[in-house]
Amino acid sequence: MNPNGPLIVQSDRTLLLEVDHPEADACRIAIAPFAELERAPEHVHTYRITPLGLWNACAAGHDAEEVVDALLSWSRYPVPSSLLLDITETIGRYGRLRIEKHPTHGLVMVSTDKAVLTEVLRSLAVKGLVGARIDDETVVVHPSERGHLKQVLLKLGWPADDLAGFVRGEEHPIALEQDGWKLRPYQTQAADSFWHGGSGVVVLPCGAGKTVVGAAAMAHAQATTLILVTNTVAARQWKDELVRRTSLSPDEIGEYSGSRKEIRPVTIATYQVVTTKRGGQHTHLELFNARDWGLVIYDEVHLLPAPVFRMTADLQARRRLGLTATLVREDGREGDVFSLIGPKRYDAPWRDIEAQGWIAPADCVEVRVTLTDDERLAYAVADPDVRYRLASTAESKNQVVLDLVERHRGTPTLVIGQYVDQLHDLAERTGAALITGETTTRQRERTYQSFRDGEIDLLVVSKVANFSIDLPSAEVAIQVSGAFGSRQEEAQRLGRILRPKDGLVARFYALVSRDTVDAEFAQHRQRFLAEQGYAYRIIDSENLDELD
């Protein structure tokens, strides 16, 4: 116990962190490996300790003693002994079951705790995934069910430690060519942590060079690689970066998208084409078996679609690397990422990377907009399912966008929104280029390049620009509407402007309609960034002069 500590530990597994305490940042870093932020108002942030958080910490090399010590060192009041016991027992469940290679029987599940093995084998969900019991401690596992078994065991509360190793895959020479550049220290650490762990997820801020980490992992593997990305523009950015950073030639890298179906030693495929159905079947999932891949990389792993999860369950003998800025999934399937891709192997706090100068500092501003009487009345009488759209697309909000665009005229600026009709209107009124899901890939690439080259300095974009888009010159982002309360989207949108800019501070504006569901969703969206140490200034739309 630390009487002057910034943390209050409660028996219901919640942690209360006093944000204004001088040691709050150090405490946040200490609890981050095992605690998840739930709420982040101005002065006290609420974290929760979950089994998955504890097992992630355990897989990353932390043990019960470290977790307990962190709580005892920072807690202002005595930590409930029942909670400490519960944490110790929960961590103790990880690895009680192990998946290993047996010299005679192939893939097996082993436990030194005969009772635990007996318990899980009695589960109907497990019976179809395993074979004969060899002895009191060992049972045969069907190789094709390795991933499904790990999913089921996680849900049963007995996460398995997969020590069965990986196939080498088809060898292919890949080397980093660090001519005029070199890996940043955290990129080297991230790639090494992944490689030594065998499989798992690397979490880095947007703009911190996740693609380079992927290239470093490929150089470790020296094998054919399948890379899954969000869209065709991202696929071509990956290809350009790999050609620039590695020994790979353009001919060694194939694009598997809606317009091209190339399978090469390194193949970059889009989630959309892989999950396209024909005749009720996902015909392109055969891509996963098209070659003897040595490495599979999942870009923006927090967006992994369900069909890719199912195919990934069959790829447990391949090394798998997930890349993301946030492990938050709005569908709650973080457990599937843990069991099928692997545990979190490296996680760099955004503010730490910023302090090192690798991403730009950001000023986050929530602009509160008061709707007109007519807009408030229309909102009040609307059905609940259309209220968010009304609040998001109100003309009062659009006027604030116009004011902010004018205020930053000449500065590379993105206007980002959810509703296409609103974006068309804003693009027309500002004279800006517009990119939506209807924009062709070729036109998107031309427009993005014009923005990068400084030919245009204002771009209106829909959610298609949320992920995997490299716009290093962007300095200002104005979010007029979002995907309800999506924390991952808020983080990704801030990430569009975090490339370092010679000491300039990036500006991120989130426009929120006062006294509507928009305000409720905004508070939820900001949670992840609050965990990373970003604080939102709140100003009234009538007082934009305060920005100067």
Q: Are 475 and 365 in contact (CB under 8 A)?
A: no
Which of 59-73, 285-299, 486-500: highest mean pLDDT?
59-73
Q: Check residue 102 and give its pLDDT.
A: 92
Cβ atoms of 476 and 414 closer than 8 Å: yes
pLDDT classification of 485: cutoffs 50, 70, 90: low
How far apart are the C-alpha atoms of 519 and 513, rounded to whole Å? 6
Q: Which of 79, 84, 50 is nearest to 67 (CA)?
A: 84
pLDDT score for 181: 87
Q: What is the pLDDT of residues 288-302, one digit of tens each?
A: 878 899 999 999 887
Task: Summarize pLDDT for 419-444 with one digit per residue, the tens.
Answer: 999 999 999 999 999 999 888 888 98
Alpha-carbon 168 to chain mean position: 27
Helices (H), 198-231: 210-221
- Distance, in Å, from the CA atom of 448 to the CA atom of 468, rounded to the nearest integer, reads 12
Rounded to an integer, the average pLDDT of 477-503 is: 78
How far is the C-alpha of 413 from the C-alpha of 426, rounded, in Å?
Answer: 13
CATH number of the structural domain 354-547 = 3.40.50.300
Percent of the chain with pLDDT strictly greater than 90: 54
Residue with tokens 């398995």: 160
Say how many residues make up the chain. 548
Give how far Cα 515 sits from Cα of 230, 370, 380, 387, Å.
Answer: 35, 8, 10, 11
Over residues 344-373, the mean pLDDT reads 87
When pLDDT is averaged across residues 310-321 and rounded to a whole number, the result is 84
Distance CA(208)–CA(205), nearest Å, equals 5
CATH number of 185-348: 3.40.50.300
Q: How far apart are CA 94 and CA 55, in angstroms?
A: 6
Taking residues 345-370, report their average pLDDT. 86
Residue 536, pLDDT score: 83
- Whether residue 409 is predicted with pLDDT greater than 80 in this model: the reply is yes
Instruction: Name the pairing type of β-strands 362-369 and 506-513.
Output: parallel
Check residue 96 and give its pLDDT. Answer: 94
State the Cα–Cα distance between residues 232 and 235, nearest whole angstrom.
5
Give the dihedral sign, CA 511/513/515/520. negative
Alpha helix ranges (H) inside 290-361: 306-312, 334-336, 350-355
Radius of gyration of the chain measured on its C-alpha atoms = 24
For residue 471, which of 491, 489, 490, 456 has the smallest C-alpha distance?
Answer: 456
Q: DSSP character for 370?
A: P
pLDDT category at 40 given cuts 50, 70, 90 is low
* pLDDT for residue 532 is more than 90: no
In degrees and rounded to multiples of 5, residue 259 shows phi and psi of: -100, -20
The mean pLDDT value for 459-470 works out to 79
**Sheet of 130-135: strands edge to edge?**
130-135, 138-141, 106-111, 97-102, 161-162
Check the CA dihedral 400-404-406-412 and report its sign: negative
pLDDT digits (tens, 9 = 90+) for 91-132: 999 999 999 999 999 999 999 899 999 999 999 999 889 999
For the chain, the distance separating the N- and C-terminal CA atoms, rounded to the nearest angstrom, is: 44
- Give the angle 400-404-410 at the CA atoms, nearest 5°: 155
Among 413, 461, 469, residue whose Cα is nearest residue 435? 461
Please give the residue that has the higher pLDDT: either 180 or 222. Answer: 222
Percent of the chain exceeding pLDDT 70 equals 97
Average pLDDT over the chain reads 88
Model confidence band, residue 191 (pLDDT cutoffs 50, 70, 90): very high
234-252 pLDDT tens trace = 899 999 999 999 999 999 9
Q: For the whole model, what pTM was predicted? A: 0.82
Q: What confidence tier does 312 reach under pLDDT thresholds 50, 70, 90? A: confident
pLDDT at 464 over 90: no
Across 191-200, 268-277, 492-501, which has the greatest mean pLDDT? 191-200
Task: Give per-residue pLDDT as tens, 79-99.
Answer: 999 999 999 999 999 999 999
The confidence score (pLDDT) of residue 518 equals: 87
CA–CA dist 164, 317 (Å, integer) = 8
Rounded distance between C-alpha atoms, residue 531 and residue 486, angstroms: 15
Identify the CA nearest to 526 among candidates 408, 362, 347: 362
